[in-house]
Amino acid sequence: MVDDSALVRKLLGQILSAEPDFAVEFARNGLEALDQLAAFAPDVITLDIHMPQMDGLACLDRIMVERPCPVVMVSSLTADGADATLEALRLGAVDFVTKPRGAVSLHIETMAAALIAKVRAAAQAKLRASLRLKDRVRHRIGARPPTGAGRERASRRPRLSAASGDGLVLVGTSTGGPPALETLLTALPAAFPWPILVAQHMPATFTGPLSRRLDGLCAVTVAEVTQPTLLRPGHVYVGRGDADLVVSRRAAGLVAMAAPSQAGYPWHPSTDRLVRSAMDLLPAGQLIGVLMTGMGNDGAEAMALLHHAGGRTIAESEETAVVWGMPGELVRRDGADFVVPLPAIAACLRGLVPACP
């Protein structure tokens, strides 16, 4: 646990140390953390962003090059904290947990469950083999990027061809999602024929910066949904955090809109709720579901229903998923038409959407 605040180290350390299978060591800044890496050989590192001598981003950069290890960032719920956290995820952090607003000592229990769950998930996370490969080769660590173009799932249904008519692509992801979304969306052309809706588990403070970051990288247009928005081809609609993203119909056509969280959907924005709302308005054959890295099972039930109703579904394969929880559950439910490594998902999607350039 790396944090310059003695109080934060004490409070968060007590939360983790109370777990019978956790052993916790501490560092006050990035330099101390790097000094301890070889001796302690941690399974997971929690890393504050703003620290003296060496901040969290500089430390993370060194960790990913010199001794790759799953890292969970400890971030503030601010615009600056969101931008820094997204940069940390790009550099290789597995996930992040947000500090409570106000006095940490008064609200620390609000983050306890999330901290424990995300550290446990990170301990099982798979770091991308291609991450910082050239830099690591220079440090004589080396690794090979994932290979393989994916495979179609064995199924009783006939081989799937491209859909017909207009439709929607529905994407769900959680832990490890922002880099996965970048890989997927940057490979799509500006003239992609169908609107794409994204449910990425994140607080509201983070989904806006994530959308702006992706918009600057992608040929498609990416925007956060903050009000009812008419769906258009070549556009990606990211659900606002702490709410759900649903599809509705207005006189002008289908719209994406933010909806207050609803009982029965524990993660937000909810992939299950997004898919169900789309299935209420369009035939299954006009929908494609994509379920990528993330802990838990959000999206698996609804996408399995979509698959069995005649829709098309793509699950990220275990070989590239940081956490194979959500896509793995879809595969276990026999709900995936294709199980595809992350770098090949865009090509698979382009082959399923009609008239895709």
Task: Please indicate whether residue 3 is annotated as part of the active site.
Answer: no
**What phi, psi does 107 have (nearest 5°)?**
-125, 15
Identical fold between 6-138 and 159-352: yes
Closest CA to 219 of 351, 350, 340, 314: 350
Tell me which CATH code domain 159-352 carries: 3.40.50.180
Catalytic residue among 4, 76, 95, 201: 201
List strands edge to edge, sheet with 244-250.
Answer: 229-230, 253-259, 244-250
Tell me which CATH code domain 6-138 carries: 3.40.50.2300
Catalytic residue among 174, 211, 270, 277: 174
Buried b (16+ CB within 10 A) or exposed e, 154-182: eeeeeeeeebeebbbbbbbbbbbbbbbbb
What ranges do the domains of the chain cover?
A: 6-138, 159-352
The SS3 call for residue 114 is helix
Sign of CA dihedral 202, 208, 209, 210: positive
**Contact predicate 317/290, CB 8 Å:** no
Integer Cα distance of 24 and 15 in angstroms: 10
- pLDDT confidence of residue 150: 46
Q: State the DSSP code for 250.
A: E
- pLDDT confidence of residue 38: 85
Cα 101 to chain centroid distance, Å, stands at 23
Collect all residues with Cβ–Cβ distance below 8 Å to 214 and sequence separation of at least 6.
181, 182, 185, 222, 236, 238
Task: Please indicate whether residue 201 is annotated as part of the active site.
Answer: yes
- pLDDT confidence of residue 149: 42
Integer Cα distance of 78 and 66 in angstroms: 30
**Contact predicate 223/198, CB 8 Å:** no
Which residue in the block uniquely carries the two structure tokens 């950069």?
61
The SS3 call for residue 17 is helix
Catalytic residue among 270, 298, 307, 317: 298
Burial of 124 (0-12, 13-18, 19+ CB in 10 A): middle
pLDDT in 10s for each residue of the chain, 357 residues: 999 999 999 999 999 999 999 999 999 999 999 999 989 999 999 999 999 999 999 999 999 999 999 999 998 877 778 999 999 999 999 999 998 877 776 778 889 999 999 999 999 998 876 555 445 444 443 333 333 344 444 333 444 566 657 899 999 999 999 999 999 999 999 999 999 999 999 999 999 999 999 999 999 999 999 999 999 999 999 999 999 999 999 999 999 999 998 888 999 999 999 999 999 999 999 999 999 999 999 999 999 999 999 999 999 999 999 999 999 999 999 999 999 999 999 999 999 999 888
Task: Please indicate whether residue 337 is annotated as part of the active site.
Answer: no
